Structure 1
Amino acid sequence: MSLLPGKTVYLRHWQRDQLGMFFPMQIADCLDDGLLLWAPAGAQGWHFNMPDGRGMAQTPLAEWSAARRVPAPHAIDHGLLSWHPRGRDYSVRWFFRPDGSFYQWYANLEAAASVQGGPELTVVDTVDWDLDVVVHPDRAWEWKDEDEFVARLAQPDAYWVDDEERVRRAGREIVELVGAGAFPFDGTWCDFRPDPAWPALVPADPVDNRLTVDDVACG
């Protein structure tokens, strides 16, 4: 199966055996060293929340991890370009205002992405590690959600992160790239525009069971 520009794929964030997020995106480019995905402002995916509507921030971690959560619609209000470098423990996102202007990078620390495909559905799977790095256009940066990350590490029976040093190492790699003004923080793709000929994003059921694993490649 090939990953061609404009094809819809589904980004999935896992928390052990449960989904935390399911979001449709389009292939912007498929390169030897990674996958570039795009979603326009207004694109809708799903977060998986408690049956009573509470999100993760409003729920004790032990309760959150033990519950069977349900999909809740979630739409983004900005354009989103997301770079998933092959074998690296992070993705880097470019945020765009509705007028198309770039305004922020967001480095999401996560397990290296795995792409799986079937005849009808292609997914990009990762595990979101909560700790992130926000990077401004002038390359000033700050950690995001560090207090929550540290607090959750203290509850290993309920948390899906079991290697703090691996997460910290990924964060340090991002900070070094930012400080050096190196790719992807060198201005690359800050003027990105999607191809107007691409088809619309294809919605899908967040609990779709059609996935059968197959080889997925650029082409």
Structure 2
Amino acid sequence: MVFERGEIVYLRHFQHDAVSGLFPLRAVQHDDQGMLLWGQAGGNQFYTVMTDGRMLRQTPLPEWVAGPKRLVAAEVGHSVLSWHPAGADYSVRFFFSPAGEFLSWYANLEVPAVPWRSEVLAGLDTVDWDLDVWIEPDRNWRWKDEEEFAERLGFPGSYWVDDEQRVRQAGLEVIKLVEAGSFPFDGTWTSFRPDPDWGPIIGTVPLPGWDAPRH
């Protein structure tokens, strides 16, 4: 199964078996090396909150995992190119200003992404491991969300991360590429421009099937 260029793909972040984030993007390329997706500034993304509006960082983790949630939409203020190397424990986001200026890289540490397609939707599923690596254009880097990651590891019965060493190793693999100036941190795609007819993907609710079981 291969995504077609321009096809809308729903990138889904999971926590256990529940969708926690939903990002409608457009396929740029998909081959044996991985998947490249694009999101235009001004589009919508979706994420879950508790029914009273509290976000994850405002909620004790056991309560968050056990409690009912609702999906909310938010406008995206930047454009993003999202690279998902086949079989990798991370993806790399290229952030751009609305005018197209490259701003930074962001390595999202995660379960290797799985593509899928139904009669209604195309999707890409992963489990977000929370700990990330932020990389500036000059390739200075820093860990992101270390405190939250360490705190949540203290709730093994609730947390969706069960292998701290694997997560940190994924980050170290990214850092090695960054420090060497190797792909994808070698300038590739930092001047990317989408097809001119690709506008932002705007919608107040996702299509039916967005909450299908994780692939």
Distance change >3 Å, CA 78–CA 115, structure 1 → 2: same
Aligned partner of 1:216 in structure 2 is none
Distance change >3 Å, CA 110–CA 210, structure 1 → 2: closer
CA drift of 1:45 comes to 1.7
Instruction: Write the distance in 2 (CA, Å) between the matches of 1:141 and 1:59.
Output: 29
Contact map agreement 2:40 2:199 (CA 8 A) in 1: no
Instruction: Write the distance in 1 (CA, Å) between the matches of 2:149 and 2:212.
Output: 33
Aligned partner of 1:146 in structure 2 is 146
When normalised by structure 1's length, the TM-score is 0.92
Alignment: residue pair count: 213
CA drift of 1:207 comes to 7.3
Aligned partner of 2:84 in structure 1 is 84
Does residue 162 (structure 1) correspond to residue 162 (structure 2)? The answer is: yes
- The amino acid that maps onto 1:13 is H
Q: Deviations over 1:49-80 (max 9, x none)?
A: 10011111111111101112110112210011
Distance change >3 Å, CA 201–CA 207, structure 1 → 2: closer
Does residue 54 (structure 1) correspond to residue 54 (structure 2)? The answer is: yes
Please state whether the residue corresponding to 1:3 is helix, strand or coil: coil
CA drift of 1:196 comes to 1.1
Distance change >3 Å, CA 155–CA 37, structure 1 → 2: same
Contact map agreement 2:25 2:39 (CA 8 A) in 1: yes
When normalised by structure 2's length, the TM-score is 0.93
Distance change >3 Å, CA 117–CA 52, structure 1 → 2: same
CA drift of 1:4 comes to 1.3
Please state whether the residue corresponding to 2:152 is helix, strand or coil: helix
Instruction: Write the distance in 1 (CA, Å) between the matches of 2:53 and 2:212.
Output: 31
Distance change >3 Å, CA 208–CA 95, structure 1 → 2: same
Identity %: 50
Please state whether the residue corresponding to 1:30 is helix, strand or coil: strand
- The amino acid that maps onto 1:161 is V
Instruction: Write the distance in 1 (CA, Å) between the matches of 2:155 and 2:104.
Output: 32
Instruction: Write the distance in 2 (CA, Å) between the matches of 1:117 and 1:199.
Output: 22
Please state whether the residue corresponding to 2:120 is helix, strand or coil: coil
Contact map agreement 1:24 1:203 (CA 8 A) in 2: no
Q: Deviations over 1:151-173 (max 9, x none)?
A: 10110011000011110110000
Instruction: Write the distance in 1 (CA, Å) between the matches of 2:58 and 2:177.
Output: 34
**1:38-117 to 2 correspondence within 5 Å?**
38-117=38-117
CA drift of 1:200 comes to 5.8
CA drift of 1:23 comes to 1.3
Aligned partner of 2:119 in structure 1 is 119
Instruction: Write the distance in 2 (CA, Å) between the matches of 1:210 and 1:131.
Output: 25
Instruction: Write the distance in 2 (CA, Å) between the matches of 1:101 and 1:47.
Output: 26
Structure 1 unaligned spans of 5+: 214-219
Aligned partner of 2:174 in structure 1 is 174
CA drift of 1:42 comes to 1.1
CA drift of 1:197 comes to 3.3
Distance change >3 Å, CA 55–CA 200, structure 1 → 2: closer
CA drift of 1:209 comes to 2.7
Instruction: Write the distance in 2 (CA, Å) between the matches of 1:110 and 1:35.
Output: 15
Instruction: Write the distance in 1 (CA, Å) between the matches of 2:140 and 2:210.
Output: 43
Distance change >3 Å, CA 109–CA 25, structure 1 → 2: same
CA drift of 1:181 comes to 0.3
CA drift of 1:109 comes to 0.4
Instruction: Write the distance in 1 (CA, Å) between the matches of 2:142 and 2:151.
Output: 18
Contact map agreement 1:115 1:124 (CA 8 A) in 2: yes
